[in-house]
Structure 1
Amino acid sequence: MELLDSLDHKILEILQLNNLTSQREIGNKIGLSAPAVQRRITRMRELGVIKKDIAVLNPEHLGQLITIVVQVEMEADKVEMVTKTKRKFEQTPQVQQCYYVTGEADFMLIVVVSNMKEYEKLTHELFFNNPGIQRFKSSICMDIVKSGLALPVPK
């Protein structure tokens, strides 16, 4: 049984570009009434398809934030240590994105900090004080060329 149909996919495409688009406007674009759009959006929230309604902030307007890509290698693939590390990354506000990956690194993080002193302190909290982490490698972003949040939606 298909969870979402083509109209749901069209709604998701519109909401990913601007989740403040009115239900009437969405309905006009895809051929549904505003109440039908509202029911579909409510259903997709209940199903967990739509996880959050958030504001995406422009870092250029928030001071000189530093974005850092961090590769993290674990000492060993022990389930309890990996799980504990995932939770720590998940609970750290400076960790904007966290991916558990295959290859040389075990985790890829996108970290945003106000200054290098803050990052130094964060490295102690997240990496040096975690006995499960073997090493980490930081790459400082010189420019954010693309920072997409929209997922491809099936047609």
Structure 2
Amino acid sequence: MQLDAFDRTLLNLVQEDCSRTAEQLAERVALSPSAIQRRLRRLREEGVITRDIAVVDPRKAGRPTFFIVGLHVEREQPKLLAELRRWLAAEPHIQQAFYVTGEADFVLVITAPDTEAYDGLMARLVTENVNVKRFTTNVALGIIKRGLTIPIPERPDA
């Protein structure tokens, strides 16, 4: 799908705040509210926008602890990796999971109410996934920046 300048501007705006109305977006993009709605519907249908979410302040939601985990697998067999990916994707405490190059095979961002809950999750991970060799854990001491925004240049060649 080709994104034009209107799409690009619109995507940046809804990533910033997806609760804006079509009328509010139309004030920032030189299109009518109905054209904005059509474009947003098309961007969703084409899978450019995959979902709309609310970003929750962790301090106001019980101050969960964030863990950044390097996960190492025993074997990189496609079937075993697929099973592990499904497990990781289904676990609600795993916010992000990346299959990566380097020392670890996966990098995970996990949130849990405390270290005991994290230990329980990791015990289940190792027990239910025989291909997990080991993992390393970093505990986040503070949040400097947290988000999922993809910066989209106004021009495709920028």
**More displaced 10-residue stretch of structure 1: 19-28 or 37-46:** 19-28
SS in structure 1 opposite 2:40?
Answer: helix
Pairing 1:122–2:121 present: yes
Alignment partner, residue 74 of structure 2: 75
- Specify the alignment match of 1:24 in structure 2: 23
Cα deviation, 1:27-77, whole Å, max 9, x if unaligned, reads: 121210000000000000000111111111010001131100000011011
Give the distance between the partners of 1:22 and 1:64, measured in 2 at CA: 31
- Residue type of the alignment partner of 1:62: A
For 1:4, the equivalent position in structure 2 comes to: 3
8 Å Cα contact 1:70/1:108 also seen in 2: yes
Aligned-pair CA distance for 1:129 = 3.9
Q: Percent identity?
A: 32
Give 1:144's aligned amino acid: I
Task: State the partner residue of 1:149.
Answer: 148
Q: Structure 2: any 5+ residue segments left out of the alignment? A: none
Equivalenced residues, count: 154
Q: Distance in 1 between matches of 2:101 and 2:127?
A: 22
Distance 1:102 1:128 in 2: 24
The Cα RMSD (Å) is: 1.0
Per-residue CA shift, 1:109-133, capped at 9, x if unaligned? Answer: 0000011111111111112442211
